[in-house]
Structures are given as structure tokens and as C-alpha cells.
Amino acid sequence: MAQINEFPKEEGQTEPGQQAPAQDAAQTQIEKPPWWRRRLIGYLCVLPILAIIIGGTELMKGIVPYLGYPSSIWVFFLTIVALTWGTGPALLLIVLGVTVLDYYFVAPKDQYTILQWPDVIQLVPYVLAAAAITVITHQLERSRNRARIAEMHARTAEAQAQNSARQLSEANQHLTEVNQKLANADRTKDRFISIVAHELKTPITAIRGHSQLIQHRLARQQKQQSLSPNEEKTTSSVQHIEEQTDRLTILINDLLDVSRIRSGQMRMKKEPCDLNEICRAVTEEQRLLSKRTITLHQPEGPLLLQADRDRLAQVLTNLISNAVKYSSEPEPIEVSISQQEGWAVLQVRDYGRGISKKRLPHLFQEFYRTPDAQVSSIQGLGMGLAIVKEIVKKHDGQIGCESEEGQGSTFFVKLPLLQKP
């Protein structure tokens, strides 16, 4: 199925999957920590901090000569390093710190005896404290990272949602414009059909007038003397012209009706009229035209409606001519009228090809023809039933059809009876 999916790309609009500029900015803003908290800066700071630890510890020992915890300054700075730069620089500070403490402050001083028991016992509590700080900091760092990633995802999702909303609103606007253009084109087409149909009426009336004149002349001549073989051929040609102009007139009138329905200008000239009388006249006319057996069952006396006489005749003509078209001889066509409470019910029954269940719901749509009608030689444009439905609607009535394939069809119309004062 054809789809309109090529919307013109607006300025700033992105391809699907491509990130919007705002989205990129949000991501980089979250991903980049301040420069001084970068891990490399942390490693570079370890040595100066170590120098500060040695200096600080010396100073403390100078102030408090019997200082029992020379490693406390180291633990303090280790905590700061771990919190600021994470586990890598903290581990480096532990390794270097233990070495430096052992050399400068743990007895015997100025010697590396780090692997001997007295040193190990002195340093173990500090190393354990340092390790605990590092582990805790590591956990903190991980949860901080997770929170940052979650925030980043949330911002990305928000940016994507904003982007999608913008794209949707642009698409919506585009669709509204296209709809507007289609509605305008539809109105132009309806106007065109109406103008063409009106314009065609004049030449067709002229053709009909001339052919009737020729027919009258030939008929007069036939009364006075017999016609020559050439004149007889002319008579049959003129009859053919008249049949075709009749067909054209019906088509043009149907086109005009469809255009009136679409523009909401189909008006009814309602007056009190007798449905029995209309049905009698139409049935008789259709019997003569089609030369088919058309029976009529109607109740005694008049059946009064407030209706447009010509339009009701049009409804019945259409239903009977369809029954004639879609059934064949010798099958009869039965027209019946009955009275049900406040309604007059008109039925047209044929024993023709019928309509399949799945086609029935489309029957009253404009320009609808069943597939077998389309491939058959039966002519039609699918306008008749749509017009009939509109006329019935304008009379506050109902229309329907019951049919079975191969068993024929029954079309019924319910119209409100004229209420007696």
C-alpha cells in the first residue's frame, strides 16, 4: 500500500537514531569530571602529598616528641586522596606510605625492616585502616558512578523524548497541511464534476430534440407511405441514438446528485403524496421499458407520506432497474408495499445472482460495485444505491438489503407515514 512518508526535512531535524545536539551536550556535561579530579592528577599528586606527610609527621614529632601514632597523618591524607581521586592513587599512596613510614618513623629508624615481625605488627593496624578506607571509597565511587550513569540515561531519554515529540508535532503539522490540500482538491473535483455535468446537459437536450424531430418526421412519412430500406435503417439508428442519450442523461443526473450530496445541497421538495400511486406509475413504466414480469402487491387505499414525489420515484426506479439488471428472464421481480405501525415498507425482490455476505456492508457506498458486477457486461458506475440511501435519509427513513449469493436479493425501504392531524 502506498504510504506518504517523505516529509521535507526541517532545519535542526535529525535522522532516526541520530542524537540531537542538546542530547550530546547533556551527555558530555555529565561524563566529564572537573579537571582537578582526573585520576592522572591524583597519581601526580601522590608524591607531593607523601612529602607533606613526611614533613607533617616530622613536625608533629618535634611538637610532641612521644607521638605514639606517627601514621595518623598518612591515614588522614589517604582518606582525602581516596575520596578525591579514587582507589588507584589511594593504593599507590598506601604502598609508598608504608615504605616511607617504615624507613623514617618505625624503629629501628632509617632502615628498611618492613618484612620483620616487629614492623609488621606496628604497621598492620594502619594498613588495615587504609585498606578499609580504600574499599569503602571504592564502593562509594562505584555507587557514584552508577548514579551518574543513571542520571545520564535519564537525561538522554528526556532529550530523546523531547526530540520525538518535536518530530511528531512536525509530522502532525505536515499531515494537517496535506489533509487541507486534499480537501481543497476534493472540493475542486466536485465543482468540476458539477460544472461538466451541467454543461453536458445542453448538447444532450439538443441531440434528443433533433432525434425526436427525425423520428416524428419518419413516423409521419410512414403513415403516408411505406418507408424505403434506407429510411428504415435511419429509424433504427435514431432509436439507438435516443436510447443512448437516455442513458447519458441518467448518468449525468446521477453525477449531479452525487455532487449535490457531497456539497450538502441535495434538497427535497416535500408535499403530501401517495406511495401507492407512485409505485403503480413507476412499476408500470419499468414493466414497459424492461418487458419483464414485475408484480406489485399493495394495500387498499392511499398510503400518505410527506415526501418529494420525484425523488421517491427515483428510489423505486433505481431498485427495480437494479433488480432487472442483476437478474434474468424468466425470473420475476416482486414489488410490495405494506404498512407497519407508523411506517410504510417498500420491498423489491429479485431472484437473480444475489450478493455475498461480505459485500453487503459496502453496497450503499459511492462508486461501489461488487467484483462480479465489475467484470460482467452490466453497465453501471455504482452511484445509484448511494443516491437512493441519501434520498431515504432525507425522508427520515431506513434502507437495507437481505441477500444470499445465487438466491436473489430483497431491498427494503421504510418511510414514516404522514401523521393524520
Interaction site with ligand ADP (CB under 6 A):
322-323, 326, 350, 352-353, 355, 363, 368-370, 373, 380-386, 409
Q: How far is the CB of 346 from ligand ADP (least distance, A)?
A: 14
Nearer to ligand ADP, 26 or 324 (CB): 324
Nearer to ligand ADP, 54 or 348 (CB): 348
Q: How far is the CB of 190 from ligand ADP (least distance, A)?
A: 18
3-state secondary structure 69-80: CCCHHHHHHHHH
Nearest partner of 410 among 347, 352, 316, 333, judged by Cα: 347
Q: How far is the CB of 164 from ligand ADP (least distance, A)?
A: 45
Mode of pairing for the β-strands spanning 333-340 and 294-297:
parallel
DSSP annotation of 375 reads H
What does the buried/exposed string (b/e) look like for 308-335 if buried means 16 or more CB atoms within 10 Å of the residue's CB?
bbebbbbbbbbbbbbbbbbbeeeeebbb
DSSP annotation of 109 reads T
Number of neighbours of residue 73 by Cβ within 10 angstroms: 21
Nearer to ligand ADP, 74 or 364 (CB): 364
Q: How far is the CB of 247 from ligand ADP (least distance, A)?
A: 11
Closest residue to ligand ADP, based on beta-carbon distance: 380
Q: How far is the CB of 365 from ligand ADP (least distance, A)?
A: 9
Nearer to ligand ADP, 126 or 326 (CB): 326
Q: How far is the CB of 231 from ligand ADP (least distance, A)?
A: 36
Nearer to ligand ADP, 45 or 255 (CB): 255
Nearer to ligand ADP, 105 or 326 (CB): 326
> 110's torsion region: left (phi>0), alpha (psi -120 to 50) or beta?
left
Nearest partner of 395 among 299, 279, 285, 275, judged by Cα: 275
**Residues in CB range of 415: below 8 A, 6 or more apart:** 275, 305, 307, 312, 343, 344, 346, 392, 395, 396, 397
